[in-house]
Chain A
Amino acid sequence: MKVWAFIHPELGILCCTLLPEAVPEGVEYVELEVESPDDVVYENGQIRLKTEAEKLEEERQRKLVALRNYIASLLERTDYVVVRIAEAEINGDTDTAEQLKQKHAKQLQEREAIRQWNEQMKQAIRNAKTLEELRSLEIRYG
């Protein structure tokens, strides 16, 4: 698609219009052919298109954030187990802490497995060489 990129006269930020008539009157603009308006950047006083490497890195960061949020939601379900054990240990009640660890051994193992899977996923995301490869990585545990 075509965009018309310019620096907003009031806000001083990069803007891209999708219709030429939406460019404010009297403002200088650059006409660009893009895949997405997000492909345009303003750097060192220049309006330009993102490089493939920049797009790849952006998608990588987005994927890592999505993974982090997903892992947090998985661990959240058993956070109460860790909190109870930690409380017992803080109070010096090691017997109770041990009992809780045994009682919730399955949940604790599951948390460890989630963390290991998280590390594998992070590595896969960091190792991805292309956008297609990155996008094909499915963030789903189990």
Chain B
Amino acid sequence: MFIPHTDADRSAMLQAVGISKLEDLFRDVPEKYRFPELNLPPAQTEMEIAAELQEMSLANETVRDLICFLGAGAYNHYTPAAVDAIIQRGEFLTAYTPYQPELSQGTLQAIFEYQSNVAALTGMEVCNASHYDGATAIAEAVNMAYANFRGKRNKIILSPAVHPQYRHTVRTYTTGSTLILVGDDPNSDVKSHPDALIPIIDTDTSLVVVQYPDFFGRVYDYTKLADAAHSVGALLAISINPIALGLLKDPGSMKADIVTGEGQPLGIPLSFGGPYLGLFATRKEYVRKMAGRLVGETIDNRGQKAYVLTLTAREQHIRRDKATSNICTNQGLIALASTVYMSLLGKNGLRQVAELCYHKAHYAAECIANLPVYSLWSPTTFFNEFVIRCPAPAVEINDLLLDHDILGGYDLSQDYPTLDSHILFAVTEMNTRDQIDRLVEVLSEVNHG
């Protein structure tokens, strides 16, 4: 199968090493623990494991079996066939991190193009080679801002409209530090305008974090918030949905200092939550403070244009305990997939997908809000997600929808006690008018208030 040794090979090799059997290689291993019997299922052939996994996978009902209106950080978008064709090439798939640039120009140029596309999309000057996901990208933004002020500014302001799991991740990451995280009390008025955070920004604040569109789908201009942060020397980070930026103003134009985001909508399969892609871009003055890998253009000793990992002195393998982050692996292949996606769609295709999401979501929101016992929670501008106040607990509504093969929206009461009976619906280009009409029809069956 995967071990090519014949009996003759083994004998010859053992002889060369000067031992008579494989067991002799492990004399340094304490004898009482040596060669435990592993109680694992018996080995299967490729044919058998393929069948077992096929069956397991069929025990799931997916967004292809159900009509999906669930988003909340992971979205059902169309992936062009060319994306998978490229990332399945063994030359990309089975290469290591490009430490030897002479043998890795494919990966290096692809990362360079990823950096270029993400910088263009976000309106920022530099972008790294990616973080694990949208949540950890914010955690890295927090670390970067904290280090930027040499640990002298201890306050991080998190908008309550940042994804709950992202905020949770930031809290886990910062448990060892002196940082204080404020601004996102779940019992606060989460409907308030983001400028309501301005009064708590002070000279002890290193970073303000918001999301665009926010977790509830709302679109705000954060320029005033950026000005307020900058007026006391603090930084602003905006976590984005990259599809929305096909249509909406880039966060760079709102004076963001750091832009993070979940890259999954850019052609990455849902895959039950991962692997996804943590986008991270910033302004040039922070390039040496940013964690993660970075590819730069240069020339080789034959005078040709070429690419190489650069500013590596920032990274863990050089700085060791002085590094701001321990990240080494990035999401290489997923970043490549997103680059192929962005390149295929281009400026017009991404705009087209964004507009489809926008129109379909607005059609759905309008039809639902027209039902007598449902209403739109907030009249604010939104992109492709919106919150509906329902006449019954979200769990009941979603159960009913599931009975009709519809995967309902996200139950907001899980994270926001004041949003009992509120559902966050997501609509993408994958949802047809018939599917939306079907959703509205089933929702209309609930008519008690």
The finding on whether chains A and B are genuine partners in a shared complex, rather than unrelated, reads no
- B residues contacting A by CB (< 8 A) are none
